[in-house]
């Protein structure tokens, strides 16, 4: 809701003024606009991840209320293709991640939003990443029998979350809660096929709130998180686990707040990061780029 975001923006502004988190870092340059979303169907972009099969492309999707579909855009924000997930209902999609197993790339779509913290369980959908074929139609369908849907439950009760990532080093899925004054970091192993409900176990807390997006680099050595007003960055030392990495303060990276900025992703080569927001207050949806210096 718009009121929700306005209130949280004020809260976050106060928190960031009175309690700086980490140090500012100039390893990445200032924001550059690389393109405007012109496909009207992409109006509440909530997740973003670099494609593994289609160089210089990104996957995105809308927030709650949309159909079960993902969009492929290039690094100038041009829409290339839409895929519908057959037989899937989108309750509150909030983030999208990438997983590679035995040389195959899989997309992970997180139906993990829960504004009122009332859902007894949440769901992620995992499927092999589509690869573009020349002259293919702009709309296609991923068959239901190609989608693995996993049910997840928090060990300490329902949580709202908008962020997930799959760690290529330890092979675990991580979710970051959203609304607590100090958000929680949760993990679960992700089996090859769905079975019993997966339990999300809390492994860390961070002195941040309203985390709306996260992404990990292809090699698992760098991690990004963002809220409405800032981007936070961690680097991983050799042999470190995710909790050990997050035990150190994150570094504040360059970021200019967007109307409802809910998506962030590393480029596939790790030389930059991108952000994307919902279409709010009649403003254009712009794909922004922050280049590593």
What does the pLDDT look like over 35-81, one tens digit per residue?
A: 999 999 999 999 999 999 999 999 999 998 899 999 999 999 999 99
**How do beta strands 161-166 and 104-111 pair?**
unpaired
**Model pLDDT for residues 124-134, shown as the tens digit of each residue:** 999 999 999 98
- pLDDT value of residue 111: 98
**How do beta strands 147-154 and 198-206 pair?**
parallel
- pLDDT value of residue 22: 57
If you average pLDDT over residues 147-160, what whole number do you get?
98
Q: What are 154's two structure tokens? A: 């928090």
Q: What are 254's two structure tokens? A: 């360059």
Q: How far is Cα 66 from Cα 207, in angstroms, rounded to an integer?
A: 32
**Model pLDDT for residues 160-208, shown as the tens digit of each residue:** 999 999 999 999 999 999 999 999 999 999 999 998 999 999 999 999 9
Q: How far is Cα 222 from Cα 267, in angstroms, rounded to an integer?
A: 12
Q: Does residue 150 have a pLDDT over 50? A: yes
Instruction: Using CB atoms within 10 Å of the CB of residue 264, give its burial: 0 to 12 exposed, 13 to 18 middle, 19+ buried.
Output: buried
Closest CA to 98 of 278, 266, 272: 266
Report the Cα 204 to chain-centroid distance in Å. Answer: 18
Residue 144 pLDDT level (bands cut at 50, 70, 90): very high
**Model pLDDT for residues 75-100, shown as the tens digit of each residue:** 999 999 999 999 999 999 999 999 99
Maximum Cα–Cα distance across the chain: 54
Top CATH class, 2-291: mainly beta
**Model pLDDT for residues 206-249, shown as the tens digit of each residue:** 999 999 999 999 999 999 999 989 999 999 999 999 999 999 99
Which residues lie across from 139 on neighbouring strands? 82
Residue 16 pLDDT level (bands cut at 50, 70, 90): very low
Q: How far is Cα 22 from Cα 27, in angstroms, rounded to an integer?
A: 14
Q: How far is Cα 155 from Cα 58, in angstroms, rounded to an integer?
A: 32
DSSP-assigned letter for residue 134: T
- pLDDT value of residue 58: 98
Residue 13 pLDDT level (bands cut at 50, 70, 90): very low
- pLDDT value of residue 134: 84
Instruction: Map out the domains of the chain as residue ranges.
Output: 2-291
Q: Does residue 3 have a pLDDT over 50? A: no
Phi-psi region of 117 (alpha: psi -120 to 50; beta: other; left: phi over 0): left
Number of H helices, E strands in the chain: 2, 21
């Amino acid at each position: 809701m718009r009121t929700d975001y306005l209130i949280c923006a004020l809260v976050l502004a106060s928190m960031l003024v009175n309690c700086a988190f980490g140090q500012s870092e100039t390893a990445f340059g200032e924001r550059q606009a690389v393109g405007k979303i012109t496909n009207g169907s992409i109006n509440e972009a909530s997740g973003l991840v670099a494609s593994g099969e289609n160089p210089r492309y990104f996957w995105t999707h809308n927030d709650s209320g949309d159909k079960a579909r993902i969009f492929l855009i290039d690094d100038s924000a041009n829409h290339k293709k839409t895929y519908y997930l057959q037989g899937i209902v989108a309750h509150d999609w909030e983030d999208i991640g990438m997983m590679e197993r035995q040389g195959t790339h899989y997309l992970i779509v997180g139906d993990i939003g829960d504004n009122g913290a009332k859902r007894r369980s949440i769901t992620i959908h995992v499927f092999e990443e589509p690869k573009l074929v020349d002259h293919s139609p702009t709309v296609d369908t991923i068959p239901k029998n190609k989608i693995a849907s996993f049910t997840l439950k928090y060990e300490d009760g329902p949580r709202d979350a908008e962020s997930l990532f799959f760690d290529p080093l330890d092979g675990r899925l991580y979710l970051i809660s959203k609304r607590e004054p100090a958000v929680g970091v949760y993990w679960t192993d992700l089996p090859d096929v769905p079975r019993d409900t997966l339990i999300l176990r809390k492994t860390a807390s961070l002195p941040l709130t309203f985390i709306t997006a996260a992404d990990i680099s292809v090699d698992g050595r760098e991690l990004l998180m963002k809220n409405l007003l800032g981007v936070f960055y961690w680097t991983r030392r050799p042999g470190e686990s995710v909790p050990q990495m997050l035990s150190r303060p994150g570094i504040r990276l360059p970021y200019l707040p967007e109307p409802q900025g809910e998506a962030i992703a590393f480029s596939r080569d790790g030389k930059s990061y991108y952000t994307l927001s919902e279409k709010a207050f009649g403003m254009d949806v712009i794909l922004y780029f922050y280049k590593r210096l």
